[in-house]
Homo-oligomer: A and B are copies of this chain.
Amino acid sequence: MAKEKKVEQITDMEVDFAQWFTDVCTKAELVDYSGVKGLFILRPYGYALWENIQSYLDRRFKELGHENVSMPMLIPESLLQKEKDHVEGFAPECAWVTQGGSEELPERLCIRPTSETLFCDHWSHVVHSWRDLPMKYNQWCSVLRWEKTTRPFLRGREFLWQEGHTLHATEEEAREETLQMLEVYADCCEHLLAMPVIRGNKTDKEKFAGAVNTYTIECMMHDHKALQSGTSHYFGDGFARAFNITFADRNNQQSVPHETSWGMSTRIIGGLIMTHGDNSGLVLPPRMAPIQVIVLPIAQHKPGVADKAGELVARLKAAGIRVRGDFSDNSPGWKFANWEMKGVPLRLEIGPKDLENGQCVAVRRDNGEKAFLPLDRLEESVPALLEAVQQGLFDKAKKNLDEHCFAAYSLEDARALQAEKGGFIKTMWCGDPACEAKMKEQAGMSSRCIPFQQEHLSDVCPICGRPAKHMVYWGVAY
């Protein structure tokens, strides 16, 4: 017996973007809340998104010669304290294990917030000679940071990520690695997730605890706020010295290696939702979509309809497309709304009339465009439509980014532009953290990055009037 299920409504994104985001996360069945604040359950549909990112990045990492390893999840407090800047950055948000079984532990153990200290401790055991370098390691794991406010994907006390850690004989090689891995993240965002990025350097204030340089890719969300989407760090030899890692170089001289690390996390899924989603729910770029095509039989009890729909599913599957048919007894209206909520890029409808005409109806999730597709050429037309959706989503996001970058020539300009239009405000900057702090205080914006692609807007810092060193992107960030 068919039972009309209710299509769940979500908050309008223009009314309350934060609530819209939470609604999409739960109604599209990406996450569930657990009994511990800030620890989220990734449900199958949400985890499948992470698996697609994993599979892309893991392949790229391995092609570049990185090897996966597994480090412990617990760090003794004394080990965390070896690098001074690093411990200052992370200790305040550590979760501490103090009891094992029925015993009080002699030393507190921190659940890893990041693993630089573990990698360095290991390298101090195994690196002896230039022949042992470079070490190019990665691990897939979860980390804990005891945040005060939490939101699915965007800020969790626990989140999944990968952390790459590498060790090199020379500064030059380490710096090359750092930039190379940022480029891999940029590719992942642009080609897989259809999210255009701005690449740049973090200011000293915004860089990773213990790093010499932090490079970042910054994405713009639908609401024109910024999301830091992937970072790579050059550490110089600071950690290596703190952990006493040395190696005999080619001339048999003791030398100190140079280190990098780089990470991308499930946070990017939050970015994906906020970049492409709309008031009907999630919108997924085809390369990311666990289900790329949903086939819906219309009036499926009519002769031949269900069979033909099943045949289309089989044919598209054979053509390498991630396709599913919905043969449930839910109403067409419910099915439309459900698969739109799930963000499936393409819907194919086939009913009795379509059968007669040897065609089906294709509806794009990104812009609602309909097309009639001759059934005998689906193996060409469907992949082409999926590519069009992928490109369409990237173009739309790029337009949003381009139309919301504004140059400002005074602090007041910057404040007003952010207040009125939102987005990324670009200004020159003298390099003084005091000016950076003033921008935060008076215009509510943090520095997003010093972009690699610099523009010369003027000669002076609009905040203090002294000579300018760089152009900076400022924004309100997640």
A71 CB contacts on chain B under 8 angstroms: 34, 41
Q: Are A73 and B142 in contact (CB under 8 A)?
A: yes
Q: List A residues 363-398 near B (Cβ within 8 Å).
A: none
Q: Are A102 and B92 in contact (CB under 8 A)?
A: yes
A102 CB contacts on chain B under 8 angstroms: 92
Query: CB of A320 within 8 A of chain B?
Result: no
Query: CB of A118 within 8 A of chain B?
Result: yes
Whether A122 contacts B48 in the complex (CB less than 8 A), given A98-B98, A98-B99, comes out as no
Query: CB of A109 within 8 A of chain B?
Result: yes
A100 CB contacts on chain B under 8 angstroms: 95-96, 146, 157
Q: How far is the CB of A51 from chain B (nearest CB, A)?
A: 7
A34 CB contacts on chain B under 8 angstroms: 71-72, 118, 121-122
Whether A32 contacts B126 in the complex (CB less than 8 A), given A94-B101, A97-B96, comes out as yes
Q: How far is the CB of A401 from chain B (nearest CB, A)?
A: 30
Q: List A residues 329-364 near B (Cβ within 8 Å).
A: none
A421 CB contacts on chain B under 8 angstroms: none
Q: List A residues 284-320 near B (Cβ within 8 Å).
A: none
Q: Are A99 and B96 in contact (CB under 8 A)?
A: yes
Q: How far is the CB of A117 from chain B (nearest CB, A)?
A: 9
Q: How far is the CB of A123 from chain B (nearest CB, A)?
A: 10
Q: Are B44 and A68 in contact (CB under 8 A)?
A: yes
Q: Are A73 and B144 in contact (CB under 8 A)?
A: yes
Between A and B, 21 residue pairs with Cβ closer than 8 Å are A34-B72, A36-B72, A41-B71, A42-B69, A50-B70, A51-B68, A70-B142, A70-B160, A72-B158, A73-B142, A73-B144, A73-B158, A93-B101, A95-B97, A95-B99, A95-B101, A96-B97, A96-B98, A97-B97, A97-B111, A101-B146
Q: Which of B32, B74, B158 contacts A122 (CB 8 A)?
A: B32
A158 CB contacts on chain B under 8 angstroms: 72-74
Q: Are B111 and A76 in contact (CB under 8 A)?
A: no
Q: CA separation between A50 and B141, bound complex, in Å?
A: 14
A137 CB contacts on chain B under 8 angstroms: 44
Q: How far is the CB of A246 from chain B (nearest CB, A)?
A: 18
- Chain B, residue nearest A50 (CB): B70
- Chain B, residue nearest A39 (CB): B72
Q: CA separation between A254 and B79, bound complex, in Å?
A: 54
Q: List A residues 105-162 near B (Cβ within 8 Å).
A: 108-109, 111, 118, 121-122, 125-126, 131, 137, 141-142, 144, 146, 157-158, 160
Q: Are B111 and A101 in contact (CB under 8 A)?
A: no
Q: Are B40 and A72 in contact (CB under 8 A)?
A: yes
A36 CB contacts on chain B under 8 angstroms: 72, 74, 76, 109
Query: CB of A67 within 8 A of chain B?
Result: yes
- Chain B, residue nearest A103 (CB): B146
Q: Are B35 and A121 in contact (CB under 8 A)?
A: yes
Query: CB of A47 within 8 A of chain B?
Result: yes
Query: CB of A84 within 8 A of chain B?
Result: no
Query: CB of A43 within 8 A of chain B?
Result: yes
A67 CB contacts on chain B under 8 angstroms: 44, 47-48
Q: Are A122 and B41 in contact (CB under 8 A)?
A: yes
Q: Are B35 and A79 in contact (CB under 8 A)?
A: yes
Q: How far is the CB of A94 from chain B (nearest CB, A)?
A: 7
Q: List A residues 58-96 near B (Cβ within 8 Å).
A: 67-76, 79, 92-96
A109 CB contacts on chain B under 8 angstroms: 36, 95
Whether A68 contacts B47 in the complex (CB less than 8 A), given A34-B121, A35-B76, comes out as yes
Apart from the given pairs A34-B122, A40-B72, A131-B328, 4 other A-B contacts in the complex at a CB distance below 8 Å? A47-B70, A50-B70, A51-B68, A93-B101
